[in-house]
Amino acid sequence: MSAHHLRRAGQLGLLVVAGLGAVACDLLRNEPELPTVEEAAIPYLAMGMDAEYALNGNVFEIRVVQPRNQLERGGSLWAKVGPYVYVFSPATRAVFEDNAAIAGVRVITVTPDGDEVARALLRREVMREAKWRRALNLLGLALQEGTQRPTRLEALVSFGEENTDYQYSPDWVRPPGGS
């Protein structure tokens, strides 16, 4: 092969490498983009939820105040159920459907003084259609009948503990076996 042909082959090789690089960049650019905090909060704002919203990496965080009288009257059960009321809401489902880059939604409930009561992280991959139907059904029953039938709240808590990474403040919920 002549020097001219080698130079030409080298130039073609560079063009191929440059073309592959451009394709790789396009593929990277097509990855889902994180929404702004304001964009991700839209479903919660639409349901009238007054909370603080933030993005922590690819996790959307919601910090919501749980009324102290509810906690004092309802005890540990109400402390536990707090984050699940929001994490299993239609708004959370909409966040996952509308924002492919969101990997999880974390709800943190706090007292009016800002002390943490409970938190729950729902990861996108945990919920499939059947689980969403179950979650929304449990939520509806808890919201409609929870005050008269605490077992409705307990069922939502059990479902939440099975499907989220959760943590309860020992100030509001005694650890198992604790006194």
| DSSP character at residue 31 | S
pLDDT, tens only, 69-121: 888 888 899 999 999 999 999 999 999 999 999 999 999 999 999 999 999 99
Q: Are strands 59-65 and 104-110 parallel, antiparallel or unpaired?
A: parallel
In angstroms, the CA 53 to CA 55 distance is 7
Contact between residue 48 and residue 65 where contact means Cβ atoms under 8 Å apart: no
pTM of structure: 0.80
